[in-house]
Structure 1
Amino acid sequence: MNTDNETIHHADHHLRIARRVEDLSGSSIFRINIKAHDLTERGQDILRLDAGEPDFDTPKSIIDAAKQALDDGFTRYTPIDGLPGLKASIQYKLKRDNNLHYNLDEIMHTCGAKQALFNACMTLLNPMDEIVIPTPNWGTYPSIANIAWARIVEAPTRYDEGFVLQPDVLEKCLSDRTRVIILNTPNNPTGQVYSREALSALGNVLLKYPDVIVLSDDIYEHLRYTDEPFVNILNVCPSLKDRTVVINGVSKAYAMTGWRVGFAAGPAQLIAEMQKLQGESTSHTAAVSQKAAEAAFNGNLDDVHKMVKAFSRRAKMVADGLSKIDAIDCHPAQGSFYCLPNFERVIGSLDGVDDDQQFGDWLLEELGIAMVPGSAFNAPGHMRLSFAASDDTLRKGLERLQKAFG
């Protein structure tokens, strides 16, 4: 055997990566996560304000249901669209929490809400179809659009308008090539919530474009800190139901990020096509996870309300702390567990720091604070601050920021 020749052969081999993957940019979220972890391993006191998941345990009643499901033999394949009990619980949840009525063939489960978004976009978008994404936005939205080789049309929102998309801006972004728009409230990364009036104004615009499908990302639905009840686009514009997909899951509200259960509810024909796609990819999430999610949706919201009470207290703590720093502008969070402070003036005052990416590294190395650069969310000059962290961690982080920039 000529191992030298084999070595030469392998050394000359050039791995060709498909463009749909090669064109994806690395996530700033994961980069900061890795760097913060490395610094922690080296003994540095790093305050993690970058988390995208609740810092609570999954409620005991849900874990008990999962244990019972294992004892009952839920360890095998399930239908692609989900176990019948899970689908019935989703149907119940939508009626109870959202006053939305769906038939079972209009509902499917997915491996997290992210797969619901992926399924919908890959089913609806042909190359160069247009997708409207309000900015700032969760970084996965444009990534999925790029995988589908769609054309992204950014619909900018403004700080002085509460990061809420205005109807005139939406109108300018829509055309006969528009196929999809994504709406997300409560919003990641801004922490802002769309009012009934704001959604109604957008709905009136969308009614004029009958070929546009709305993806309503409601994953932070229960995490709200105002007295206004949750509404999505269908609550204020029910005539859009035949071209809206409601996307949600158990990750955020029930502290079940690792269980990987989401769902999509929409027109039966579209749901059937999305099932075909899922059948050739993940098929379904684990049967035990589906039974756990079934228990979550069928149960009361007592544990959710306890978490929301804690998040609400933390949101106020962060808002009060940031308000003491003149160089930082930030809207108090109305929902989710994020806010998006503007650090442009701070960045401009630091030698050798030219943008939010460099500032993210500076924060880690100089102050021991992990936050995600806003450019990951189409918000350069900002930083996403997560208050899915303990009160003590938040207090220390705010004190360090106040000492450095106050």
Structure 2
Amino acid sequence: MTDRAIELREEGRDIISLSVGEPDFDTPPHVLAAAHAALEAGLTKYTPVGGTSQLKRAAALHFRRDLGIDVPTSQITVSAGGKQAIFHALLATVSEGEEVIVPSPWWVSYPEMIRFAGGKVVPLMTSPKDNFRFSPADFEAQIGPRTQWLMLNSPGNPTGACYPAEMLLGIAEVLRRNPRVMVLSDDIYAPLNYTGGGHATLAALCPDLADRVLTISGVSKSHAMTGFRIGLAAGPEWLIRAMERLQSHSSGNPCSISQAAAVAALEGPQEFLAKWRERFRARRDQVVAAINAIPGLSTPTPDGAFYCMIDASPLMERFGDDTALALHILEHGVAIVPASAFGGRNGFRISFAADEARLDEALRRIAKALAA
């Protein structure tokens, strides 16, 4: 897919990418100013492996203010992106053959990290009719004697699914009956929740389970800082220390300048986030209406993030599989990602983190490609 997109661009074709998972907004000026000030102040040396004390305090503020988790700085670590925090948590805890339950469709890196650690991926299938959410009963049915983790991504990539408080409370009851199982709660998209009910997360709802929950957050998606590579994790102190030991031998500390910028992002003005969220909500509605008007395509309305997982099952007889469908759409000028990349099937994911005019043009091209 990527190679063909490059070839088409080299031929002079205009290819609209709806495959990239990052906000199209500019990083806020006060964050850039903080990065510049850090450079001017000479903050270019090593920092503590798990992050500066200033950033850990800012992270504690963020977890309390935005996620409802009251956690001391001793239970927080900073990494080079949320991906690194997840990777180190799995490496620190998953032994050969141990199982990790992963809802499908899943973010592409989850299964690869688990397999790298020697673990076994246990898919927990979800469907569009359930808005890509699993039930507590579905979860409990997948638990075995070697289950180590449940991966819980809300709002989710690639589906945009959110787990409301009542569903999380049901999951918590299953966890109380299965004390071995931990939860990796990936809340990186928490600010992009369109339900109107606010974001719910397990560690805040069920403090009695907090010593079994690792909550992942960061500034990449919320503050348009993907290139700064700063992730945040809050969880039991034994796990945080283990993750930091691994980090000390892999990458060392996160970038010092990025850490200073992240302090400004978390402690500075937050009002713009609501405006960004409303822009994303409007784009979501634009995409959902257009996709559901194209014969052969359908999508539920995602609750959060900036993705739609689109079902194209009626078109599979024509195209054979979702990769062939995605390549066909690419030939008509739009880059998307087939559902099979996420452990799904018979569809594709698009990102609506693009300006409205480009989205309109991309959706027009998709409709034309499927009418051809």
TM-score (norm 1): 0.89
2:336 to 371, 378, 398: 371
Q: Distance in 2 between matches of 1:333 and 1:180?
A: 25
User: In structure 2, do the counterparts of structure 1 residues 244 and 385 end up closer, same or farther at CA, with 3 Å as the change threshold?
Assistant: same
Q: CA deviation at 1:34?
A: 4.1
Aligned partners of 2:172 and 2:206 also within 8 Å: yes
Moved more, 46-55 or 77-86: 46-55
Per-residue Cα deviation, 1:312-350 (whole angstroms, up to 9, x for no partner) = 11101001111212311201222111000111212323x
Aligned partners of 1:86 and 1:291 also within 8 Å: yes
Moved more, 69-78 or 36-45: 36-45
Q: CA deviation at 1:399?
A: 1.6
Pair member with larger Rg: 1
Per-residue Cα deviation, 1:216-248 (whole angstroms, up to 9, x for no partner) = 000101012221100111232221101100111
For residue 278 of structure 1, what is the aligned residue in structure 2?
247
2:353 to 385, 388, 393: 388
Q: Distance in 2 between matches of 1:149 and 1:81?
A: 25
Q: Residue type matched to 1:300 in 2?
A: P
Q: Distance in 2 between matches of 1:132 and 1:304?
A: 32
Is residue 305 of structure 1 aligned with residue 274 of structure 2?
A: yes
Is residue 295 of structure 1 aligned with residue 295 of structure 2?
A: no
For residue 299 of structure 2, what is the aligned residue in structure 1?
330
Is residue 151 of structure 1 aligned with residue 120 of structure 2?
A: yes
Q: Residue type matched to 2:12 in 1?
A: G
Is residue 59 of structure 1 aligned with residue 24 of structure 2?
A: no
TM-score (norm 2): 0.97
Q: Distance in 2 between matches of 1:253 and 1:89?
A: 15
For residue 136 of structure 2, what is the aligned residue in structure 1?
167
Q: Secondary structure at the match of 1:80?
A: coil
Q: Secondary structure at the match of 2:151?
A: strand
1:38 to 1, 4, 7: 7
Q: Structure 1: any 5+ residue segments left out of the alignment?
A: 1-31
Q: Residue type matched to 1:322 in 2?
A: I
Is residue 183 of structure 1 aligned with residue 124 of structure 2?
A: no
Root-mean-square deviation (CA, aligned residues, Å) is 1.2
Q: Secondary structure at the match of 1:280?
A: helix
Is residue 206 of structure 1 aligned with residue 172 of structure 2?
A: no
Q: CA deviation at 1:404?
A: 4.0
Aligned partners of 2:133 and 2:163 also within 8 Å: yes
Q: Distance in 2 between matches of 1:35 and 1:258?
A: 25
Is residue 108 of structure 1 aligned with residue 77 of structure 2?
A: yes
Q: Residue type matched to 2:154 in 1?
A: T
Q: Residue type matched to 1:276 in 2?
A: R
Aligned partners of 1:157 and 1:166 also within 8 Å: no
Matches within 5 A, 1:228-243: 228-243=197-212
Is residue 220 of structure 1 aligned with residue 189 of structure 2?
A: yes
Q: Secondary structure at the match of 2:222?
A: coil
Aligned partners of 1:180 and 1:214 also within 8 Å: yes
Q: Structure 2: any 5+ residue segments left out of the alignment?
A: none
Q: Secondary structure at the match of 2:310?
A: coil
Aligned partners of 1:33 and 1:50 also within 8 Å: no
For residue 60 of structure 2, what is the aligned residue in structure 1?
91
For residue 87 of structure 2, what is the aligned residue in structure 1?
118
Aligned partners of 2:328 and 2:369 also within 8 Å: no
Is residue 399 of structure 1 aligned with residue 368 of structure 2?
A: no
Q: Distance in 2 between matches of 1:203 and 1:233?
A: 8
Per-residue Cα deviation, 1:7-62 (whole angstroms, up to 9, x for no partner) = xxxxxxxxxxxxxxxxxxxxxxxxx3443233123211212111111111111110
Q: Residue type matched to 2:195 in 1?
A: T
Moved more, 328-337 or 140-149: 328-337
Q: Distance in 1 between matches of 2:190 and 2:120?
A: 28
Q: Percent identity?
A: 37
For residue 29 of structure 1, what is the aligned residue in structure 2?
none
Q: Distance in 1 between matches of 2:337 and 2:48?
A: 38
For residue 249 of structure 1, what is the aligned residue in structure 2?
218
Aligned partners of 1:79 and 1:284 also within 8 Å: yes
